[in-house]
Structure 1
Amino acid sequence: MSYPFLKGHGTENDFVLLPDRDGSVHGELPADRVRALCDRRAGLGADGVLRVIRTAVVEERDVRASRNHREDEDLPEWFMDYRNADGGIAEMCGNGIRVFALHLYDEGLVPADEPVRIGTRSGVKTVTRDGELFSADLGVATILGETKVSVGDRSWPAVHVDLGNPHAVVMVDDLAEAGPLLEEPAYDVRVYPDGVNVEFVVRRGPDHVAMRVHERGSGETRSCGTGACAAAVATAPPGPGRWRVDVPGGTLQVSRDAAGHVFLTGPAVLVARGQTDL
């Protein structure tokens, strides 16, 4: 079977997009297909897969089951079916949703001059476009207390942040302290039974941090959008604000409004399209 694909990235956090509007191409999207696509030596290479599918096809279950879904909220037409590179299902991807929105705009699937609402397993998110930059309302970030993360024989306290997906934010003096991050950091599985994204963060200024991230199911990546938001809110005082977050793949802007909603702003780029039988 041959099927279409696109390749894109947000601050070098890269994805394979699979257009599958009515769900007839990939069915349940087997994990081995996701792994084959994401393989950087034998596949197309990516940190994850974004399937572009209508919400009605997934029977609305993934959106309505989200803790962020309001029962009185109309569901959007499009659903971002996100999978990590290891084939595992994930709730949300801050960089991926900007790439997903760019595809919808480019294909004329949504009005070019209006914000687009996108269904995710973390609820409905709204993305606004301003030229080459996209801003995603990721909802309210919740700080759930302190936990611990270890790499080899080193351990650090970490802030547990929920952005619809789980994060452990570690403050370090130097990003090199995390080592090569070739293996997953150790964490408390009672706190994170489904795994966790671990951010190692250094402060560059009052409203400026830099970070490295080990993403569950993908390893160290060049950027993590929800991770950038988690790093910003974990290192800032409560209330509205705006922060710069440097990642290996570029720079992201994070802001929080008076209602507590966190917004992620950054670029999105589509670099290739074609057919594959992986």
Structure 2
Amino acid sequence: MGEQPGAVGYPFLKGHGIRNDFVILPDPDGSVHGDLPLERVRALCDRRAGIGGDGVLRVVRRPEAEGGRWFMDYRNADGSLAEMCGNGIRVFGRYLAQAGLVDPATAVEVDTRDGVKVLTFSGGAADGEITVDMGVPRLLGPTEVGVGERRYDALGVDVGNPHAVAFVDDLAEAGTLREAPWHDPAFFPAGVNVEFVVRRGEHHVAMRVHERGSGETEACGTGACAVMVAVAEADGTPPEVDYRIDLLGGTLTIRRTAAGHVLMTGPAVVVAGGTTGL
């Protein structure tokens, strides 16, 4: 497994994409953290006894035989593996650029559990928004979600990870979201991210999200992509139209191309760094 971190500590950074925050663990050759035990992820993400975050981004290099790309090893706050994280990959890209590990003047390919994602930087290493080609989403069909005794029609959308998008009259209908919303376990046997959506105007919506493995977060990039797809399907919107998606932590711009790819654009910031023995 390689050397494990101890009392002397190991490096970390902290970053966020519209207040969806992450602990970043540089581990280029995979020798520091090994398989990253669930207990360590939980300790790092603990907001009172740890660093605090919605998840952990481990930065590791793929072998040349596998393309030599940087791999985003993402874990939810509860330690579970996640296929993809939209805000996380922008933060991941920002770290790579600031650390001089990639050239932000060119398109950057990053490996994830949902395949290779392509990042484009609108500014330099430290500034500007980042656009991510999230690939082609899959519509999973109609389903239901619920809060308490209430049930809502929803559309299942796969954006590398599963989502259920429900339209509501008021975002307060989602309640506190301390508990995961009800979902059909036969439809989503591995759990699901749930988005509640209200319309704000033409090509403009607002949302709240409960993330599988993390609880309610102030933003979810894959969730915003799923919402855009669900709203565009409901509206019959043609390709190449920007949607504004307002989340608790900020705003993302999402577009579906003529080829069916979803492009997500938003900010990403690395705010701190240090060492920890957790």
Please give the TM-score of this superposition, normalised by the length of structure 2: 0.93
CA RMSD of aligned residues (A): 1.2
Aligned ranges 1:1-278 → 2 under 5 Å: 1=6, 2-56=9-63, 75-131=67-123, 132-236=128-232, 237=236, 239-240=238-239, 241-278=241-278
Offset from partner CA, 1:163-221 (integer Å, 9 cap, x none): 11000001000000000000001111111111111000001112000000000000000
1:76–1:117: 8 Å Cα contact kept in structure 2?
no
Distance 2:211 2:49 in 1: 21
Gaps in structure 1 of 5+ consecutive residues: 61-74
Provide the C-alpha distance between the structure 1 equivalents of 2:160 and 2:208, rounded to a whole number of angstroms: 20
Change (3 A) 1:193 1:24: same
Q: 2:104·2:120 contact (CA, 8 Å) conserved in 1?
A: no
Aligned to 2:3: none
AA partner of residue 84 (structure 2): M
Measure the CA separation in 2 of the matches of 1:162 and 1:183: 22
Q: Structure 1 residue 33: deviation in Å?
A: 0.3
Query: Which AA in structure 2 matches 1:107?
Result: A
Question: 1:238: how far off?
Answer: 5.1
Q: TM-score, normalised by structure 1?
A: 0.93
Offset of residue 239 of structure 1: 3.3
CA distance in 1, matches of 2:266, 2:212: 22
Contact residue 85 and residue 217 of structure 1 kept, 8 A:
yes
Shift of 1:112: 3.0
Amino acid at match of 1:77: R
Between the aligned partners of 1:123 and 1:219, the Cα distance in structure 2 is 25
Is the CA contact 1:76–1:118 (under 8 Å) kept in the aligned structure 2? no
Report Cα offsets for 1:138-183 as digits up to 9, x if no partner: 0011111100101111110110001110000010000000000000
Q: Distance in 2 between matches of 1:15 and 1:252?
A: 18
* Amino acid corresponding to residue 145 of structure 1 in structure 2: G
- Shifted more, 32-41 versus 237-246: the winner is 237-246
Q: Matches of 2:159 and 2:29 in 1, distance apart?
A: 29
The alignment of Structure 1 onto Structure 2 pairs a total of residues equal to: 263
Q: C-alpha separation between the residues in 2 aligned to 1:48 and 1:153?
A: 30
CA contact (8 A) 1:139 1:262 kept: yes
Work out the CA distance in 2 between the residues paired with 1:239 and 1:166.
23
Indicate if the aligned counterparts of 2:38 and 2:79 stay in contact, CA closer than 8 A: yes
Give unmatched runs, 5+ long, in structure 2: 1-5
Assess if the C-alpha contact under 8 Å between 2:253 and 2:264 holds in 1.
Answer: yes
Divergent runs of 4+, >4 A: none
* Cα pair 1:6 1:17 within 8 Å, conserved: yes
